């Protein structure tokens, strides 16, 4: 707690009324509220009323900047200035089959810019980067700050667990929002993400704001608004920040599930992999390099094997064996096409929930995940399919999960007669 913090300075009820009635909160009240909540002086029920008031009334740009800074001030702030390389990071708002961090971090490192990826575990239908990396035998998510710095200097890329010390207010507030129907408030999402990313100490940041059925933001307008507010927060904190709006109406790539996605990422690093995963990896790498002031060509680093070398070094530095066989699930079952035609829909949310039910994700944060579970896709929207052809293969160690996974997919797969105009993957760029 700050030495001059005065628990009696304001009344939480007055602040809630101010926001409920659509007025702005002065800076000192915002700072007090965040600190008092983090220290347990403002009660959970008061903060949930405030979160709901913000969901309806919003925060203006200045309020949001103060709110975010107050959240950063509740924890530690990392500093990578001592590194010999510039740093650049990426944050995705989360999607199905979004394994992009895995090939992206070593790719950017191979181009000479350091990537400090402090990541989380998955909750719900989107997978977590740490869950994916933990499918690699021996790989450890937890690093000390010294280990992280050394690895960034020597290898150039780190994917590790974000310690509890960053933006402490966020941990408490996010858990509260999760159970009070207030996760969707755009200013609260923006401050939650940006407080952690700014506290992490990266010099540049590229945001991948997903839009579509499998994303937090279902509409383009909401995704644009979230991107605009996060970019403004980054700039206000002197972090060069750019956002890409990318499609999440269908899963990225051909896999959703932990070990399955690691395999696909390694294919990309080996010069293959699905076209959409390659396209987005390269688009984000270009943005990360440019934001860090580098004009290196990531396509070259992918083609000449240097990105693969950086991946192997990154995995080994954290105890993992990049050559080890990755786990497979014990059981598989195919979902087949019911008729001839063109696959017109493969819904991201349906596939994400199916993978989750098969064991790739968790319902509560203490639940274990199955490394081998998930969904392999054999066709994507726009592909011509024939009756009886496998569209998906479901993977699990717990075959009783197949029925619930199929239920999740019902309505998420459509086959029509018309050819389908493919939507662009990168929809917009906000800087």
Which spans of this chain sit near ligand URA (rule: CB under 6 A)? 174, 183, 188-189, 192-193
Nearest to 261 by CA among 110, 106, 133, 115: 133
Nearer residue to ligand URA within complex by CB, 108 or 217: 217
**What interhelical angle do 306-317 and 101-110 show, nearest 10?**
110
Centre a 10 Å sphere on the Cβ of residue 213 and count the other Cβ atoms it contains. 18
Question: Reduced to 3 states, what is the DSSP secondary structure of residue 51?
Answer: helix
Nearer residue to ligand URA within complex by CB, 129 or 396: 129
CB of 210 to ligand URA, least distance (A): 11
Nearest to 306 by CA among 165, 97, 103, 2: 103
Helix (H) or strand (E) segment spanning residue 72: helix 61-72
Torsion-angle region of 398 (φ positive above 0: left; ψ -120 to 50: alpha; else: beta) = beta
The answer to whether the Cα torsion of 352, 358, 362, 363 is positive or negative is: positive
What six digits make up the tokens of 150? 């050394």
Helix, strand, coil percentages (3-state) for the chain, rounded to 5, are: 45, 15, 40
CB of 288 to ligand URA, least distance (A): 19
d(CA 237, CA 198): 7
DSSP strands (E only) in 85-165: 88-92, 115-119, 157-161
Nearer residue to ligand URA within complex by CB, 87 or 92: 92
d(CA 261, CA 133): 9
What six digits make up the tokens of 56? 């309806």
Half-sphere exposure of 394 (CA within 13 A, CB side): 28
d(CA 171, CA 73): 13
Q: Which residues are catalytic?
A: 91, 170, 177, 192, 196
d(CA 233, CA 191): 8
Nearer residue to ligand URA within complex by CB, 113 or 237: 237
Nearer residue to ligand URA within complex by CB, 197 or 286: 197
Nearer residue to ligand URA within complex by CB, 208 or 264: 208
- The end-to-end CA distance of the chain, in Å, is 35
CB of 173 to ligand URA, least distance (A): 9
Structural contact between residues 88 and 202, judged by C-beta atoms closer than 8 angstroms: yes
Nearer residue to ligand URA within complex by CB, 216 or 311: 216
CB of 252 to ligand URA, least distance (A): 17
């Amino acid at each position: 707690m700050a030495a001059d913090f005065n628990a009696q300075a304001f009344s939480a009820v007055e602040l809630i009324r101010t926001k409920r009635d659509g007025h702005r909160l002065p800076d000192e009240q915002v700072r007090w509220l965040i600190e008092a909540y983090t220290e347990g002086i403002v009660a959970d029920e008061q903060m949930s009323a405030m979160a709901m008031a913000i969901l309806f009334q919003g925060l203006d740009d200045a309020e949001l900047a103060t709110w975010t800074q107050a959240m950063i001030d509740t924890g530690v702030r990392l500093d990578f200035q001592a590194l010999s390389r510039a740093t650049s990071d990426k944050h995705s708002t989360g999607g199905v089959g979004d394994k992009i961090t895995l090939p992206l971090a070593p790719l950017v490192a191979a181009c000479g810019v350091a990537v400090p990826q402090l990541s989380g575990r998955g909750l719900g239908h989107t997978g977590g980067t740490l869950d994916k990396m933990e499918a690699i035998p021996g790989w450890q998510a937890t690093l000390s700050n010294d280990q992280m710095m050394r690895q960034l200097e020597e290898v150039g890329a780190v994917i590790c667990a974000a310690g509890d010390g960053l933006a402490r207010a966020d941990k408490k507030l996010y858990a509260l929002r999760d159970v009070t129907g207030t996760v969707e408030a755009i200013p609260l999402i923006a401050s939650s993400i940006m407080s952690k990313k700014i506290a992490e100490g990266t010099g540049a940041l590229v945001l991948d704001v997903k839009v579509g059925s499998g994303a937090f933001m279902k509409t383009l307008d909401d995704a644009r608004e979230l991107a605009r507010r996060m970019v403004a927060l980054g700039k206000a904190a002197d972090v060069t920040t750019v956002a890409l709006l990318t499609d999440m109406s269908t899963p990225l790539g051909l896999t959703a599930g932990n070990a399955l996605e690691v395999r696909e990422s390694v294919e990309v690093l080996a010069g293959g992999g699905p076209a959409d995963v390659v396209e987005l990896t390269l688009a984000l790498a270009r943005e990360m390099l440019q934001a860090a002031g580098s004009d290196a060509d990531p396509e070259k680093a992918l083609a000449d094997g240097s990105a693969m070398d950086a991946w192997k070094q990154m995995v080994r530095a954290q105890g993992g064996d990049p050559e080890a066989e990755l786990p497979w699930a014990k059981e598989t079952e195919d979902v087949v096409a019911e008729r001839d035609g063109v696959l017109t829909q493969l819904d991201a949310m349906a596939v994400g929930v199916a993978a989750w039910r098969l064991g790739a994700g968790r319902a509560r944060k203490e639940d274990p995940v199955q490394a081998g579970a998930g969904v392999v896709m054999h066709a994507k929207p726009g592909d011509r399919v024939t009756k009886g052809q496998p569209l998906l293969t479901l993977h699990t160690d717990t075959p009783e999960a197949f029925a619930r996974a199929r239920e999740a997919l019902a309505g998420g797969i459509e086959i029509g007669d018309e050819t389908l105009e493919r939507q662009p993957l990168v929809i917009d760029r906000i800087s």
